[in-house]
Structure 1
Amino acid sequence: MGELTDKIKGNVNEATGKAKQKSDDPETRAEGRKDEAKGKAQQVKGEVKGEMGNDI
């Protein structure tokens, strides 16, 4: 179940990050890049959990 949660959180963070990157404020754009990277990492975490199954 944690796999799906991580993937959903990752998608949300990526989408939020991409939206923030369209801002005129440089700090908000930087925050958006950070959020997008966080989302990608969460998705990878979810994929790893899925591959490992019940081993973790």
Structure 2
Amino acid sequence: VDTSYTTIGGFCQEFVDGFAKVGDQFDFGGYHFTVLEADEFSVEKLRVKKIFLEEDK
């Protein structure tokens, strides 16, 4: 995975098909990401939730 992103939209593109759109979801690095607000060129709001494994509890 490329880690040299300069925008949130660029980061999301690595995990979704094409430009990110509202409702797109993906997991990376122990976190679950959901695109909440986006237009055809940028992601404006992204929800990030920590994924807890049973052993983490």
With structure 2 as the length reference, what TM-score do the two structures score? 0.22
Structure index of larger Rg = 1
Q: Which has the higher strand share?
A: 2
TM-score, normalised relative to structure 1:
0.22
Which has the bigger relative contact order, CA under 8 A and spacing at least 6?
Answer: 1
